[in-house]
Structure 1
Amino acid sequence: MTKTETDSALLESAAQPLLNLAASPDLQDLKLLCDKAGSEITLVTNLAEALGLPASIPVFIDRQSGRPISLKSLLDEWRTSPERKSGSATVNVLESFINLTKRHATSHSVIFADTNWKSPSLTAIIDYHQNESGGPADNCKHRIKYPFPLTEEWSAWVANNGKVLNQTQFAEFIEDHRADLASPHDDEVTYWQELLGGKMAYPNELQMLSRGLKIHAETKASSAVTLATGEGEIAWEETHTARDTKGGKIVVPSLFMISVAPFYQGEKARVPVRLRYRLPQGGGAVAWFYQLYRPDIYITEQVIRDLDRAASETDLPAFQGSPEMSS
């Protein structure tokens, strides 16, 4: 017997006493009949006016179990559009960030700026919490993000910043990026030498240094420092016939300048760089590394300028930091 036939038989059996007044009714069957007839969809009213809930919630009341059953999953199956705006759009230029933010912004939208100099970004949160005191929270799930496009040149200098390189690696790096080397202005020479100490090098000196290092890539070295100028001097014990014009000695400056645009299609930043080398005790292979002086300054200044521009053109409040909710 099918379920439909079983239900029909059950209903007929339960209703039979009502049709035959001489028979005693089966109360249990009557209760089952009433329970089946009583299952329904009803509305649960939000009497407490709890924040974040609608005024009423539709539920299915199963009279047999006495339990309410949520209809949300059933209703969501029939949605022709999302319940709310959500997701993150990523743009490649500041103008697109501003225009797209203006397109979706509400009176509660905000902009956050991440000033981390290695991965700076602007993020507009469209559905941010209401700004009235005690106002309801929102989902913070609809966002527009602008990750600042760092140039390959800047990223290359940052990637090797403070990294120990052998002679060949350092020489090749300087040769590959010699277009980024900048001639220091007279005022820069005076300022940076007084602030950081040592001798400022010109691009041709760095290129000569890198070529000399290639010659001495397999030789033993010893080191000396000229205190009056801050220059370092490396002398090599030759193991082959290749020698430079100074008998195997190379003067090593302690500072140089680079001119690199941190951001794609952005202005170039002039950054002083400290040059360092290390020799093992007793001589041997030279280890090289450089240190960009405060590269975060150039990134942070640009991010703040663009944050101010975005806030002004979208008429939205702006903050440095990150929101309390992740995307």
Structure 2
Amino acid sequence: MPDPEKAPLDAHGIELIKALATEAAAASTVSITTGGLGAGLPSTLPLAFDRKSQAFKSLKALIEEYRQAPDRRKGTATVETLASFIALVDRHKDENSVLFGKTVWPDPKLTAVLDYDKEGVPARNRSHRIVYAFPLTEEFKAWVNGNAKPMEQDLFAAFLEEHAAELAAPSDGERSTYEPLFKEKFATPSELIALSRHLEVFVSARVKQGIRLQTGERTIEFSEEHKDAKGEVVTIPGIFMVSLPAFVDGAAVRIPTRLRYRIVSGDVKWFYQLYRWEFFLREQVGHDLKQAASETGLPAFEGAPEA
């Protein structure tokens, strides 16, 4: 009589064994409840259980492959003007959005965190932002790059001519503040342009001497190199006002500027010094932060948001 344990399997038995083996190796989906694990989690988490490795695996990456729209707003938009910053913040803000302003040179910046936290409510992602980094105008870069750097007379004269549109007349308040401070007289734009043209004429002349007058003005005397040349005296203003937008499409910043020269062996070197220009830029950035807060209706803080 044949041994039943050694009897050959029929087709049904083989299929049954295959089904049981496949089921034993296949992953299954389970749901884990998250009650008591803290805020910021869904009520249940779908997980795959791998029977082979006896381990749970996340389904998130697999699910994300089939997502047809983002699950939330995130990313950082960069704008080039204050007006665009305000308009874009208005487009995306909600009741918990906030503004941050870094007002210190050399990298001032306004940042809107549109999905910011609020006290007493669950934390949010803080990953949807708008940044305005105050791009400098080319004209302002030119003034800063040349600040306190000695120039040959012809180059200095050309610089004043090229930047004539950025020269301004001082107000009465500016005169009363800076003339006693520097013990110098303010120059008007026309006086500076006249100076640049005088310097162009005397570009090949030698400087005999420089004198400070009782009025506070200074003069230098030019002479040609042949012996019978008549000396030509040029009055040099001590301070002048620069007025120009520091930031693209921004308001004009006014900076008092000292005019200086050095005479060495008959040659003269010219330079200017922008007075506390970083302070005036910080002041403008602070004003722009207040303007953005006022026009968007959002709270504003000096500093930077969490990374």
TM-score (norm 1): 0.73
CA distance in 1, matches of 2:42, 2:51: 25
Match of 2:17 among 15, 18, 40: 15
Shift of 1:207: 2.1
CA distance in 1, matches of 2:175, 2:288: 31
Shift of 1:171: 1.2
Q: Look up the match of 1:207.
A: 193
Q: Look up the match of 1:166.
A: 152
CA distance in 2, matches of 1:83, 1:287: 64
Question: Alignment length, in residue pairs?
Answer: 294
Q: Look up the match of 1:131.
A: 118
TM-score (norm 2): 0.77
Amino acid in structure 2 at the alignment position of 1:124: A
- Residues 132/259 of structure 1: CA separation in 2 closer, same or farther (3 Å cut): closer
Describe the superposition over 1:287-327 as per-residue Cα deviations: whole angstroms up to 9, x where unpaired: 322122233454444433443343234332111122121xx
Shift of 1:164: 3.3
Conserved 8 A contact 1:117-1:295: no
% same residue: 44
- Residues 33/73 of structure 1: CA separation in 2 closer, same or farther (3 Å cut): closer
The secondary structure found in structure 1 opposite 2:101 is strand
Pairing of 1:1-327 with structure 2 (within 5 A): 12=14, 15=17, 35-37=24-26, 39-116=27-104, 120-128=108-116, 130-133=117-120, 135-148=121-134, 150-185=136-171, 188-218=174-204, 221=207, 223-226=209-212, 228-236=214-222, 238-239=224-225, 247-263=231-247, 267-280=251-264, 283=265, 285-325=267-307
- Residues 189/318 of structure 1: CA separation in 2 closer, same or farther (3 Å cut): closer
Q: Look up the match of 1:4.
A: none
CA distance in 2, matches of 1:65, 1:285: 86
Amino acid in structure 1 at the alignment position of 2:86: I
The secondary structure found in structure 2 opposite 1:256 is strand
CA distance in 1, matches of 2:201, 2:147: 24
CA distance in 1, matches of 2:103, 2:168: 26
Shift of 1:65: 1.6
Conserved 8 A contact 1:238-1:248: no
Deviates more, 1:41-50 or 1:191-200: 41-50
CA distance in 2, matches of 1:66, 1:222: 96
Conserved 8 A contact 1:98-1:310: yes
Shift of 1:172: 0.8
CA distance in 2, matches of 1:56, 1:66: 21
Conserved 8 A contact 2:167-2:189: yes
Misfit runs of 4+, over 6 Å: none
CA distance in 2, matches of 1:144, 1:117: 20
- Which runs of 5 or more residues in structure 2 are unaligned? 1-10
Shift of 1:182: 2.5
- Residues 166/137 of structure 1: CA separation in 2 closer, same or farther (3 Å cut): farther
Amino acid in structure 2 at the alignment position of 1:295: W
The secondary structure found in structure 1 opposite 2:25 is helix
Shift of 1:48: 4.4
